[in-house]
Every structure is written in C-alpha cells, then in structure tokens.
Amino acid sequence: MAVPEHLQQHLTAGRVLAAAYGYRDRFAPSPTGVLHLGNLQTALLSWLAARQAGGGWMLRIDDLDTPRNRAGAIEAIQRDLIWLGLHWDGPPVLQSERRGTYHSWLSWLRRSGRLFACRCSRRELAGQPIYPGVCRQARHSWGMQQQRLPSWRLRVADDDPHGSGDVVLRRADGFIAYQLATVIDDISFGITDVVRGADLREALPAQHSLFAALGEDPPRFRHGPLLRDARGRKLSKREASAGLEPLRAAGMDAPAVIGCLASGLQLVPPDARLSATELLDDLTHKDITALIS
Ligand code: GLU
C-alpha cells in the first residue's frame, strides 16, 4: 500500500532538508527536569560534530509523555543551551504540537495491515527482552476493555535482522510511543546524523525496524561516551544528575563549564576555559568523531 499523498509530503520535505543541509542533527531532550551534565555533554558533542561538518543542528523537545513533563523545564533547557553558547537553528520543535502528524502515520500503518492490537500487560511480559508475538493473530478490538486500550505494535518478522521484536507505536495509555514520534520526526526534518547518549543505543533495533517498515533510510546513529570528570573519572550519580545550577552557584561561568565538559572528553586539558565557538575553532584539526560510535 503506497504512502498517501498527505503523508508523502513529509517524506519529500525531509529529503529536501537533508539534501540542503548535507548534515543535520537534532538534540532531543525530554523536559522531565533540567538538563543534567550527561545531557549537556551530549549536546556539546552533537553540536560540535554538526558544526564541524558545516551542518545544521535543531532542538526538538520530546514532551509527549505529559505526566513526566516538569513545569518550566522547556524554558530551562533553552536557557541553559543558550547560556553555554550551543545555539540551534530555527524554532524549537515541540512534539506535543505534532500529535496529529503521528496519529496520521499510525492510522495509515494500521490501515495497511502492518500493526496489531496487543492486550498483554506489562506484568505478563516481564522478563522477556523481546515481545514473544502473543497477540499477533489475536485480532483484538481497538476499544476499551476492562478500562484499558490495547497498545498498537508494528509487526516485525521473526527473522528481521534488527531483532527488535514487534515495536509498540501507540501505548496502552493512549500516548504515542517515543519510537514512532522520533522516527517520523527524523524523517520529516531531514535528519541525516544523530549523535546522542549511550543510553539510547538500546533504542536502535526498534528504530531501525520502523525506518525499514516505512521504506526510509535511517540517519547515521552514533552514541557518545559516558560522562567523566576533567580527570577522566566517572561521575557519581549525584554529581551527574545535577544540572548547571550548582556549578553556577559555585561561581563557574560558561567558559569554565565548557572547559570542564570538554576536558571530560579529553579534548582540552583540565582547567581549560573557553567558549563553545572557541572550542570549535580549536578542534579544527581534531577528529572528534573518534569519541562517538
Ligand atoms: N528524548 C530522548 C531522551 O531524552 C532522546 C531521543 C533521541 O535522541 O533519540 O532520552
């Protein structure tokens, strides 16, 4: 079943953007709180890689999971990035304003027979790393049953090379799943390259299966290293989860923080002070892609 015209235009827009930029990444935090140091290191790395490539860098706010959003977090994320000199291109994209788009794709995938309704509970699936296909043939209704909606899963062949199992695209609580929203956005915004945190490596198989189901090439996904301090030591959970505020309270300014993040990546010596653009200039002859894989 061919992609209908109103959806085809997203694919076309994405291709045009990707071709125009050559390299385009997005930084996509969830507004569940302030950016912690790990997020900031990731932001710095993906910004550096994009700017080194002469490419684009957009900001996308992954705010679909509304119960997890924190008041003021979207503003705080933007303030912190600007304070650090990590400027993005164009207006930020809020996923909450794109629900209609995700639902249109979901609806088309459902009509083209690629999805099935699943009524397995979290408890029933506990301990199974890959969905065992229980509801694939079940033909469940789409309505409420015992006050629960089904989740909708993408049918993924057992011999699929990505090994993702059947990916949830709409959750049983009615929310669009992160996997669907991120893949649709990466396609529609012409994202060619993604540099993100190592914790998201586990999302790769599901995303690859979904790109394949849509017949689109995935961006080149690469993941950054774990966060370390200026002397190469792993940060404690408490240090890593705090945002910029304690650093600012201790009198650090933006060049000190950039110096600290960059020295954690072994890009500059400990105690270096420099702005994000100075760091970019300093790295002209250094291949930072060795840090991401
Ligand atoms: N919003 C996701 C997170 O903060 C990141 C999405 C992505 O980079 O693919 O974990």
Give 211-224 pLDDT, tens digit per residue.
999 999 999 999 99
State pTM to two decimals.
0.95
DSSP codes, 266-280:
TSS-TT----HHHHH
Distance from Cα 137 to the centre of ligand 1, integer Å: 32
| Residue found under tokens 């009198």 | 251
CA 226 to ligand 1 centroid distance, Å: 15
pLDDT band at 286 (very low <50, low <70, confident <90, very high): confident
Output the CA 150–ligand 1 centroid distance in Å: 25
State the Cα–Cα distance between residues 85 and 77, nearest whole angstrom. Answer: 12
Top mutation candidate among 26, 27, 30 for ligand 1, by most atoms within 8 Å of CB: 30
**pLDDT for residue 231 is more than 90:** no
- pLDDT band with cut points at 50, 70 and 90 for residue 236: confident
CA of 31 to the centre of ligand 1 (A): 10
pLDDT value at 47 more than 80: yes
Q: Which whole number is the average pLDDT over 170-188?
A: 97
Measure 27 CA to ligand 1 centroid, in angstroms.
Answer: 8
Sheet strand arrangement including 56-61: 24-27, 56-61, 93-94
- Among the ranges given (60-74, 155-169, 216-230), the one the predictor scored with the smallest mean pLDDT: 216-230
252's tokens: 């650090």
pLDDT the model gives residue 8: 97
Domains in the chain, start-ordered, CATH in brackets?
5-98+179-291 (3.40.50.620), 100-177 (3.40.50.620)
Pocket residues for ligand 1 (CB within 6 Å)? 28-30, 62, 182, 196, 200
- Tally of residues, the chain: 293
Ligand 1, atom 8, lies closest to the CA of 28
d(CA 126, CA 175): 21
Q: Of 140-149, 214-223, 254-263, which gets the smallest average pLDDT? A: 140-149
